[in-house]
Amino acid sequence: MTDVLKGTRAIEAPRPNRTYGDNRVCADESCDTKLSRYNRSEHCWAHTEVKFPVNRGDRKKKNKKRAA
């Protein structure tokens, strides 16, 4: 019986998550909520401006004629 060693190729590690600084607080004057280092906004969830996406409708697929 022979001993066989199997493995996989080494791959590049994924890039680290982007951070936006430590010890940040919400920019609202009445709020002292500490923000996550991964939150790119200057406000906490309660004081972030609400933005609605612009939906322009679904695109219809072209009907393909079937060969008879």
Domain boundaries, given as residue ranges, for the chain: 17-48
For residues 3 and 53, give the distance between their C-alpha atoms in angstroms, rounded to a whole number. 59
pLDDT of 11 reads: 87
Cβ density class 21-41: b for 16+ within 10 Å, e for less:
eeeeebeeeeeeeebeeebee
Q: Tell me, what's the pLDDT at 40?
A: 93
Amino acid code (one letter) for 36: S
pLDDT of residue 43: 96
* pLDDT, tens digit only, all 68 positions of the chain: 678 888 888 888 899 999 999 999 999 999 999 999 999 999 999 999 998 888 887 777 766 666 65
